[in-house]
Amino acid sequence: MKKLINDPQKVVDESVEGFGLAHSDLVTVHTDPIFIGRVGGAVPGKVGLVSGGGSGHEPLHGGYVGKGMLDAAVPGPVFTSPTPDQIVPATQAADGGAGVVHIVKNYTGDVLNFETAGELCAAEGIEVRTVLVNDDVAVEDSLYTAGRRGVAGTVLVEKIAGAAAERGDTLDAVEAVGHKVVANVRSMGLALTPCTVPHAGKPSFDLAEDEIEIGIGIHGEPGRHRVGLEPADALTEHLLTPVVEDLGIGSGEKALLFVNGMGGTPLSELYIVYRKAAQLLADRGVAVERSLVGNYITSLEMQGCSVTVLRLDDELTELWDAPVHTPALRWGA
Amino acid sequence: MAGPDGRLDGAWAERWLRESARVIAEHREELIDLDRAIGDGDHGENMDRGFKAIVAKLDDESPDSVAAALKMAAMMLMSKVGGAAGPLYGTAYLRASTAVADSDALDGQAVAAMLAAGRDGIVARGKAQSGDKTMVDAWTPAAEAAVTADPADGVAALVAAADAAETGAEATKPLVARKGRASYLGERSAGHLDPGAVSSALILRAAVTAAESGSGAGGPGAGA
């Protein structure tokens, strides 16, 4: 294991500390328990937005704390969900009196800890709603699993629900917009290489030089199929086709196309994937009106990418375009 | 029935938690490897972190009843473990604590009630059933076996539960996971023990060890 770290046990603490120093104009880092809040605290009368999950997915979630997006983010240990004793104070810090929406990726640990925290917050008098993100079409049969995982679509949910909260929508409305994004977004990813969790010290799965794993989640967990390496265009087709089919998006519709890097793939390659994905959508008569390309939800240094399609309407486009000012996403503000 | 040395009181509960911490630390790497195979490899690390925190808390203050000890453990596990294991074990200990709230020393019936409540907590929180390849596959046979022991004998109920939990954990090997991160592997999850069922069996065996090592270390009522 070759990493820019001091002590595997201190990776999260030291990384979050550096993050706070680098972005002190936007965020405040709280320690013991660790969570990241918006500078200046909760905005009175505004619905609060809180997300969180294991560390190792940077810039998710701390990178999206700021105006127009999250009010607080709760990082757990690497690839392990945070605990209720972190989520509860983060929720309290995000509560401006209008209630709080938890944005939770559908992974068992995240769901259980946010559920427990939500019950504790309710006992404290804070109304908490949950938007569960489950955009990963790689998990085919959700009847016999924990259900579809929440992956790259989470970034889009946080941006759009964040814009709704920022413009003053009610708790009901912010929650509804979050559910609307979830209903209209699908993703699928692939890995060229595994990643190494610092405290484990060894790769989380083994992959031969000429093999790739299709349908990976964001924790380096194996996917559903292992296939031989193919050119980028063919791989892009493997990702986009199930996304488009599951979403049922077709001719005459508008979309946001998001190609996300898993942390170890250069932007040049992500743009090669974007090129093909955009062509494939155009072939189907789908108008790509908005785009996002880059490392927005990663798995440490894993090489690979995911392709996400969000069906757009006027409301979602307007909220996507609304000003945002966070460490990892900024426009119009 | 439980003799004076095996009295299942607050002192026993404290010994149980300390013994659990010892065996979890001893099996940390094994639990990590089991979890690497079908999950994400953090179960040993997370459980060790949680139980170390419990021991640190016990060094500060000794709980005065089984219920207090279990409640303290629940709070520490929920706040320190994270992942799926934290809320699941935390809920198990919390419900178990409530079930024995009125008992100064547990007989077999109380042990059975405690284990059934813990199992019910895990089922409610995790929404898993028997056969899903989870902790439930250790806890359900344990709770069922405890009922069949002499209702007056707490230690006998613990022994029956620990034996059944170990058999149950072993039986998760051929199963295809239907809950948790292992469920994403589908058929590929078969052939591996479930790490949560294994840690559950270790913890229930620790309860027996704690009862058997009670000689001379009982609470105020010991020897009565």
Interface test with B, best of A108, A134, A218 (most B CBs within 10 A): A108
**Contact across the interface for B184 and A224, Cβ inside 8 Å:** yes
Domain termination site, one of A183, A214, A238: A183
- pLDDT, mean over chain B: 90
| Residue B223 confidence (pLDDT) | 37
Burial of A24-40, coded b for 16+ CB within 10 Å and e otherwise, reads eebbbbbeebbbbbbee
Tens of pLDDT along A156-187? Answer: 999 999 999 999 999 999 999 999 999 999 99
Instruction: Tell me which residue range forms the domain holding A39.
Output: 8-183
Residues B23 and B7: their CA atoms lie apart, in Å, by 22
Q: Residue B2 pLDDT > 60, yes or no?
A: no
Domain identity same for A84 and A222: no
CA distance A82 to chain B (A): 5
Among this protein's residues, is A179 annotated catalytic?
Answer: no
Task: Give chain A positions within 8 Å (CB) of B81.
Answer: 83
Domain assignment of residue B5, yes or no: no
Q: Is residue B88 part of a domain?
A: yes
pLDDT at B224 > cutoff 50: no
Residues A159 and A257 in one domain: no
Chain A residues interacting with chain B (CB cutoff of 8 angstroms): 33, 76-77, 79-85, 107-109, 112-113, 115-116, 139, 144-146, 149, 197, 199-200, 204, 217, 219-224
Here the CATH number for the domain that contains residue A235 is 3.30.1180.20
Same-domain pairing of A94 and A189 = no
The answer to whether position A265 is within a domain reads yes
What residues of chain B lie within 8 A of the CB of A79, using their CB?
40, 42
User: Is residue B173 scored above 80 in pLDDT?
Assistant: yes
Query: Cβ of B79 and A85 within 8 Å?
Result: yes
Q: What is the pLDDT of residue A141?
A: 60
Do residues A173 and A31 both lie within one domain? Answer: yes
**Each residue of A218-260: pLDDT tens digit?**
876 666 678 899 999 999 999 999 999 999 999 999 999 999 9
**Same-domain check for residues A56 and A90:** yes
In sequence order, what DSSP letters do the residues of A92-161 get, joined into one string?
A: HHH--SS-EEEEEES-HHHHHHHHHHHHHHHHTT--EEEEEE--BTT---GGGSS-PPP-THHHHHHHHH
End-to-end CA distance of chain A: 40
Domains contained in chain B, number: 1
Structural domain total, chain A = 2
Q: Considering A57, A61, A179, A199, which one is annotated as catalytic? A: A57
- Residue B222's pLDDT is 38
Q: What is the mean pLDDT of chain A?
A: 94
pLDDT (average), residues B195-212: 97
Average pLDDT, stretch A198-224? 81
Active site residue A57: yes
pLDDT at A191: 94
Per-residue pLDDT at B6:
65
Q: Which residue has the tokens 């690390």?
A: B45
- Look at residues A93, A91, A19 and name the one whose alpha carbon lies nearest to residue A58: A19
Give the type of residue at A115. Answer: E
Q: Residue B154 is encoded by which pair of tokens? A: 């707490």
Asked, for residue A3, whether it belongs to a domain, the answer is no
d(CA A277, CA A263): 20
Which value does ipTM take for this structure?
0.73
For residue A132, being part of any structural domain is answered with yes
Regarding whether A190 and A159 lie in a shared domain, the answer is no
Query: In this structure, what are the phi and psi dihedrals at residue B81, rounded to the nearest 5 degrees?
Result: -90, -45
Flag whether pLDDT at A118 surpasses 80. Answer: yes
Residue B12 pLDDT exceeds 50: yes
Of the candidates B131, B179, B170, the one whose C-alpha atom is nearest the C-alpha of residue A147 is B179
Is 0.90 topped by the overall pTM?
no
- CA–CA–CA angle A47, A49, A50 (5° rounding): 145
Nearest to A83 among B32, B80, B181 (CB): B80
For residue B40, give the nearest of B183, B151, B142 by alpha carbon. B183
Answer for the pair A147, A134: CB distance below 8 angstroms, yes or no. yes
pLDDT at B182: 86
User: Tokens 């945002």 appear where?
Assistant: A324
What is the mean predicted confidence (pLDDT) over B103-132? Answer: 95
- Mean of pLDDT values over A213-217: 87
Tens-place pLDDT, residues B60-117: 999 999 999 999 999 999 888 888 899 999 999 999 999 999 899 999 999 999 999 9
Q: What CATH number did the domain enclosing A88 receive? A: 3.40.50.10440
Share of chain A above pLDDT 70, in %: 97
- Per-residue pLDDT at A216: 86
Size of interface A-B (CB pairs under 8 A): 102
A2 within domain boundaries = no
Separation between Cα atoms, residue B139 and residue A332, nearest integer Å: 55
Same domain, A199 and A173: no
E strands present in chain A: 27-30, 35-38, 48-55, 72-78, 100-105, 128-133, 185-191, 211-214, 225-228, 254-261, 287-294, 304-312, 324-325, 330-331
Residue B218 has pLDDT above 60, yes or no: no
For chain A, how long is the longest CA-to-CA vector?
55
* C-alpha to C-alpha distance for A71 and A57, rounded to whole angstroms: 18
- At residue B34, the pLDDT reads 92
Above 50 in pLDDT, residue B207?
A: yes
Residues A145 and A23 in one domain: yes
Range of the domain at B35: 10-214
Whether A237 and A163 share a structural domain:
no
- Report the phi/psi class of residue B76: left, alpha or beta, with left for phi > 0 and alpha for psi in -120 to 50: alpha
Closest-CA distance, A25 to chain B, in angstroms, reads 30
Q: Do B79 and A217 touch (CB under 8 A)?
A: no
Q: What confidence tens digit (pLDDT) does each residue in A261-284 have?
A: 999 999 999 999 999 999 999 999
